[in-house]
Chains A and B, each alone.
Chain A
């Protein structure tokens, strides 16, 4: 118990220190922007990792929840007169509720059938967002009002850097704590073997549903943060390709590894910024790097590195 607690504190402390030190080496606020994108994506990826890595369930429609959160902070203040912060809460509530309602029948499905059902759910959400243009601005999206906190208009890449960093720290803290609760243990049992967990008396369906709802809320909050940071939303954020991107972050970083999700998000956000110098070869290189890293680090980057380090110590 003690070691686990320590590991948790070490991770959080390391993350916080890195967040505090990074700005010292940033030459311009463009870097703040990229880093903020990493924090936001990492938040969504961590949520998805609780579902995929811990509870062992796939979701190919997770961007749908991201989109709900994003559009909540766009539509709430613009059409319904809701305060932006309250809209974040409403978005998270809606996402959680939707996950709860559809989760029950969907999570009965297994493996690829679950994948296609979640994919369908994501596609439906994205389609509603694209089509109901009276509310959502249609395929070109809509502007999002600047966040006002206690009379102070939040803007600027560096401000958002700290806000998103804070959100990610909280998200990481909750996810790490989850490991030690009965729910977390149940998740691990589920991941290892659903049948065995069931035999051991774990209420399998209930815990799967919990993981799904938690993951949805994470994605929704991340979506809200991105929308407010960008000052606009568009349906791409709820789309299939974004769902695939989130799954790729989780798997690339390492299924079940919280730190892995942050690393995976960092890689997939920063890589296109680096590869853009290759111009038309960008996508070719991106695909190649994904393939190569999955072949050589099939369990993900962070678990692989961890193994290397422990082996080195011996």
Chain B
């Protein structure tokens, strides 16, 4: 029982980060139909900027805030300098642009920061909490709580504000949205900034557990993309469920089946799900653009 709980919590913690990365993918995809492979680099920026600011003597909360701001600026620049000028390019061309951006950001990070691994202190100590026999790091609660808060916030913005409605309208039909007075370019820029902020927060929350370095983004982008597809691209609920599910699959796979093949188990499940539900778990059966 305690073993099960141990796997469950560690799976949820890792899964929460995948969920946040997937959410970033979803937000950008929603607004612009771009699959942004530089999403993982926002997570890296969140962690690295906080680490370096903190090391320079900035108090942790301020360092974290600074990191989020830096990520947002980078996200906006990415949109204005790389995505907006390529308007009208095919989806695959845009993906290549984001891959280029991810190489560029990693390259910049290794110059601005360094190539070493770094850590942050856990926000509320390292003493594990005993939960029915499972030892839980206090930071796990920060990750889970932070992720939940972000999801709720995003839900509120999307469902209850005019801004959210504008994003939804843009996602549904760009031309129609423009006709009813939505500034589509601004919406897209906001989506990039927002997804950058989400990524950065994920990076800050997780660094005390997983450490960080200039190149943590690649794998996170891969896992986040997988999570987003598992849940169904474009569905925020799908992103969260997909992320948590992926984390749990890895933890239970490692715990009960084989630690060597745990990533394989996760991908086999994704393939199986897609064979049954080709639009992911929560994906809309979108009309194909002819």
Contact = CB atoms under 8 A, between A and B. Distances in A.
Size category of the binding interface on chain B? 35 or more
A255 B263 CA distance: 32
A221 to B, nearest CB: 24
Interface in B233-290: 233, 260-261, 263-264, 267-268, 270-271, 274-275, 278-280, 283, 288, 290
Contact of A113 (B222, B233, B264): B233
Interface in A101-137: 105-106, 108-113, 115-117, 119-121, 123-124, 127-128, 131
A291 B104 contact: yes
B163 interface: no
Contact of A286 (B97, B107, B229, B271): B107
Chief secondary structure at chain B's binding surface: helix
A288 B268 CA distance: 35
A283 B92 contact: no
A131 B103 contact: no
Interface in A182-208: 193-196
Interface string B61-103: 0000000000000000000001001101111110011011111
A298 B86 contact: yes
Contacts of B96: 247-248, 251-252, 290, 294
Contacts of B274: 109, 113, 116-117
A285 B278 CA distance: 38
A80 interface: no
A280 B107 CA distance: 8
A111 B289 CA distance: 11
A109 B278 contact: yes
B35 interface: yes
A58 B90 CA distance: 13
A236 interface: no
A43 interface: no
A240 B82 CA distance: 24
B196 interface: no
B165 to A, nearest CB: 25
A151 interface: no
Nearest to A194: B288
A295 B86 CA distance: 5
A27 interface: no
Interface string A24-61: 00000000000000000000000000001000001000
Interface string A249-265: 00110010000000000
A116 B97 contact: no
Contacts of A150: none
B106 A283 contact: yes
Given A120-B271, A124-B268, A283-B104, A113 B229 contact: yes
Contacts of B91: 111
B225 A116 contact: yes
A282 B99 CA distance: 15
A281 interface: yes
Given A120-B270, A287-B102, A295 B97 contact: yes
A52 B92 contact: yes
A283 B97 CA distance: 14
B100 A287 contact: yes
A298 B88 CA distance: 9
Contacts of B267: 120, 123-124
- Interface core residue of B229, B280, B283 (most chain A CB under 10 Å): B229
A284 interface: yes
A132 B280 CA distance: 31
B276 to A, nearest CB: 10
A128 B267 CA distance: 13
Contacts of A119: 222, 225-226
A154 interface: no
Nearest to A102: B271
Interface in A222-244: 240-241, 244
B110 interface: yes
A285 B107 contact: yes
Contacts of A241: 218
Contacts of A113: 229, 233, 274, 278-280, 283
Interface of B: 35, 82, 85-86, 88-93, 96-97, 99-108, 110-111, 218, 222, 225-226, 229, 233, 260-261, 263-264, 267-268, 270-271, 274-275, 278-280, 283, 288, 290
Given A255-B90, A294-B96, A295-B86, 14 more contacts: A58-B92, A110-B288, A111-B91, A113-B283, A119-B222, A255-B92, A282-B107, A286-B104, A287-B100, A288-B104, A290-B103, A290-B104, A294-B100, A298-B90
25 contacts: A58-B92, A106-B271, A112-B229, A112-B233, A113-B278, A113-B280, A119-B226, A120-B267, A120-B271, A123-B267, A124-B268, A251-B93, A280-B111, A286-B103, A286-B107, A287-B102, A287-B103, A287-B107, A290-B96, A290-B104, A295-B89, A295-B97, A298-B89, A298-B93, A299-B90
